[in-house]
Amino acid sequence: MLKNLFHITAIVLLIIALSSCSSDKDVVNVYSGRHYQVDENLFREFTRQTGIRVNLVKADTDQLINRLELEGTNTPADVFITADAGRMIQSMDKDLLQPMDMSALKEAVPFNLRDPENYWTGFTQRARVLVYDKERVSPEELSTYEDLVLPQWNGRILVRSSQNNYNQTLMASILAEHGEEPARNWAKGIVNNMAQPPRGNDRDQVKAIAAGIGDIAIVNTYYMGLLLNSPNEEERNIAQQMGIFFPNQQDRGTHINISGIAITAHAPNKENAQKLIEFLLKPESQREFAEKTYEYPVNREVEWTPLLKEWGTFNADTIPLDKLGQHLSQATIIFHEADWK
């Protein structure tokens, strides 16, 4: 009953937020699956510089996708933001997006981090890495995502639910690299080596290492930034106990995911949407993301922050993220077959 009440409340709040959206020359309406203060700060700076007011609706990404489908041509949304490439690809496949003008941006953003037909682009990126306890694991023992299924890691692996977008996109990358049968074997092997059933977010996996539940976690890099800079001293101490390892440095490289941004298919304020996207990809905005959310900039002109440099340089998987879309459905099926909760 309580869960249903929360769900109803979320929908009511979303409808109220939507009613405040408008269509005029001085407005851009944003549907965002990200929940970071830095985003709102940058939207305010965009308004200060341009006079264009940003109406922001934040909600679960899948909820926003459903909303766009229901609203159709009547949507007030101009810009759609996701915290994962997979959900952006799905939105494009549902005809919820339209191409943007990338002429001023294509030199700044690597080809693999944007749609080849300009339906979406990444505006931040993060690596999916292995976080390990420095006392119980040596980095010399680590190598690839694939090797996490070896017997030596039995009862030592921590990872969140298969319903998590980041894990689904990681699985899509393994499918793209190896095919279905090896991907099935990998999923089963990870399940066999789990220290506990999946629970919580990436930060919770790191905390479980500190609690002695497991030794290695599959984690997005920016969660380590959040822990290292937490106002909570205990979280900072936990993060200091951990090492970060970038997998697959001798072959395809570490898996990369993005936060994506796009113009909706029926945007009433398309020009303002274009201006906002260009603003968020400027070096000044990119530096702000790196400093406040500990994500890697997508703009090649922007130097990494000291914390990102401290984690070390690495070879990233350069497979175009749009290629992963065709594997997302199969990734979900494989997780289910492997009993990855």
Reduced to 3 states (helix: H, G, I; strand: E, B; else coil), residue 212 is: coil
Find tokens 């699956």 and name the residue: 33
State residue 4's pLDDT score: 45
Cβ-proximal residues to 312 (8 Å cutoff; 6+ apart), any chain: 244, 246
Beta bridge partners, 82, equal: 260
State residue 15's pLDDT score: 47
Domain ranges of the chain: 2-125+258-304, 126-254+325-337
Q: Do domains 2-125+258-304 and 126-254+325-337 have the same CATH topology?
A: yes
The 10s digit of each residue's pLDDT in 14-60 is: 444 444 454 467 999 999 999 999 999 999 999 999 999 999 999 99
How many residues does this entry show for the chain? 341
State residue 13's pLDDT score: 45
pTM (2 decimals)? 0.89
Cβ-proximal residues to 229 (8 Å cutoff; 6+ apart), any chain: 236, 294
State residue 1's pLDDT score: 45
CA dist., res. 24 & res. 20, Å (int): 13
Fold (topology level) of 2-125+258-304: D-Maltodextrin-Binding Protein; domain 2 (3.40.190)
Per-residue CA distances from 244 to 135, 280, 313 (Å): 13, 28, 12
State residue 238's pLDDT score: 97
User: What DSSP string runs through 230-272?
Assistant: -SSHHHHHHHHTEEEE---TTTT-B-EEEEEEEEETT-TTHHH
State residue 3's pLDDT score: 42
Find tokens 């919770």 and name the residue: 204
State residue 24's pLDDT score: 61
Ordered alpha helix ranges (H), 72-116? 85-93
Beta bridge partners, 197, equal: none
CA dist., res. 172 & res. 189, Å (int): 16
The 10s digit of each residue's pLDDT in 144-174 is: 999 999 999 999 999 999 999 999 999 999 9
What residues in the chain have per-residue pLDDT under 50? Answer: 1-20, 22-23
State residue 17's pLDDT score: 47
The angle at the Cα of 202, spanning 196 to 205, to the nearest 5 degrees, equals 35
**Distance in angstroms between the alpha carbons of the first and the last residue of the chain:** 23
Q: Of all helices (H) and strands (E), which one includes residue 98?
A: strand 97-98
Convert 223-246 to b/e letters by CB count within 10 Å (16 or more is b).
Answer: bbbbbbeeeeeebeebbeebbbbb
126-254+325-337 has CATH 3.40.190.10 classification: yes
State residue 146's pLDDT score: 97
